[in-house]
Amino acid sequence: MSRLIVVSNRVPDPGRPPAGGLAVAMHAALQERGGVWMGWSGKSSGENDPGPLVTRQEGQISYALTDLSDRDLSEYYDGLANSVLWPLCHYRIDLTDYARRDMAGYLRVNRLFAERLRPLVGEGDLIWIHDYHLIPLAAELRQMGITNRIGFFMHIPWPSPDVFLTLPVQDMLLRAMTALDLIGLQTEDDAENFALCLKRGGVAKPLANEPGMFHNSERQFRVGAFPIGIDVKTFSHTAQTAIGNPTIQRFGRSLGDRELIIGVDRLDYTKGLPQRLTGFHRFLEVNPAWHGRVTFLQITPKSRSGVAEYDALQREVDEIAGHINGTLGRLDWTPVRYVNRAFSQHVLAAIYRMAGVGLVTPLRDGMNLVAKEYVAAQDPEDPGVLVLSRFAGAAHELRAGALLVNPYDVETIADAIGRSVSMPLEQRRERYAAMIDAINKNDIFDWCNAYLDQLASIPPSPWPIDPCQSGV
């Protein structure tokens, strides 16, 4: 079995077991195959250049961590990655803030990653690069003579060509991605959008009679949809056992016999928080019989303080939640509980299990694992109802059981909440059964194995010395 090299912007703490999500699958795959997990240490070297790569061995895994300078973080991370690619891929062209300086920093950091990774790569190793921070990394590795199979997985949506091709450096990024052997995206829609970008950008064409394969004048590569899952069994067990936690029991007593609606999101403009809260407000306005009988708990850890768009969003969400509580609340009932802090997986799993409604309404999301975690946490005998944005990647797999909504339409959200809190037990069980079956068929380990098996099966393909020479 080939050794595995994983490269991601951030690397989990080597001294702690992974808590969930991608880290669980990567940790399991690396322990099985042996290999390297490389990425940013989370530390800054300040005004100085980053020091040498720090390695740490934990079982079969060699963690390789690099610091970044303040300039790197400003241009690569806060700049091109999070002020351009993040909003662009979530269809917020109006929020993109492109600067040539940031693109130069983005390329510089990807080159730094490549230079530090190159000595760690052995013959036959599979290299798996993760997410939008590291789009040019494969091309940098190819320029350094790396011929190994290299895969890439995009965790966020890939936008339509009408959106992506507005980026001044779209051609450079698309051509850099042709250095990859396997490009994985969350949904078939994302894969179709990416294929259209390749075609309309004049970068590559589909290979006749081989679905998913593309080619240009130099090489071939594959594009496919690999919807990411969760560790269903572990999360379900956690939800069952954590419900007995004293903190959770006190929280349950504070609710009394009220129906709990739960929302869990980072504070981000892609999550649709103002629309969600307004939809809940509308539900209460048209359903006065539910006053005092339902509580909406929105858990929203802050993600990026000091950024104008996020600070404005914080104020807006605070104002909406305050308005709901101020106009509809009573001495014995607070309609909205809004919490700006993170909680452990154990606490979240227990709260999901207690909640009769999971409200997951992002404006755009690559997958949204909260939706899958909510389903996994449910009691099969008395499951809750998932209200899910049709623009979340998870909607493709959970459409048979979730109530799909347009997250921009507050009336639709209000109606879905009304249906959810009134839904008969038998219908809830039927919907839950469809969703739990879907997430069991494609858990995090199935996702990881399917991707790596396909990457390992792709024949090696040459790469030109100068990636700008690669054309259709």
What is the per-residue pLDDT across 198-257, written as a single tens digit (0 to 9) for each? Answer: 999 999 999 988 899 999 988 999 999 999 999 999 999 999 999 888 889 999 999 989
Q: What is the DSSP letter of 75?
A: I
pLDDT of residue 22 exceeding 80: no
Q: What's the confidence (pLDDT) of residue 468?
A: 47
Q: Which residue has the tokens 């609340």?
A: 329
Percent of all residues in the chain with a pLDDT value above 70, rounded to a whole number = 97
Per-residue confidence band for 365, with pLDDT thresholds at 50, 70 and 90: very high
- Distance from C-alpha of 395 to C-alpha of 44, rounded to nearest angstrom: 38
* Side-chain half-sphere exposure of 302, counting CA atoms within 13 A: 13
pLDDT of residue 366 exceeding 60: yes
Q: What is the pLDDT of residues 288-323, one digit of tens each?
A: 999 999 999 999 998 776 678 899 999 999 999 999
Structure token digits, residue 258 = 């009220």
Catalytic residue flag (residue 155): yes
Structure token digits, residue 88 = 């662009």
107-129: average pLDDT: 97
Catalytic residue flag (residue 365): yes
Catalytic residue among 90, 130, 133, 155: 155
pTM across the whole model = 0.95
Catalytic residue among 125, 365, 415, 443: 365
Q: What's the confidence (pLDDT) of residue 5?
A: 97
25-46: average pLDDT: 93
Q: Which residue has the tokens 């969760």?
A: 230
Q: What's the confidence (pLDDT) of residue 470?
A: 41
Tell me what the pLDDT averaged over the chain comes to: 94
How far is CA 417 from each of CA 37, 231, 356, 428, rounded to the nearest angstrom?
42, 28, 10, 14
Phi-psi region of 145 (alpha: psi -120 to 50; beta: other; left: phi over 0): left
Q: What is the pLDDT of residues 423-466, one digit of tens each?
A: 999 999 999 999 999 999 999 999 999 999 999 999 888 887 55
Higher local confidence (pLDDT), 303 or 85: 85
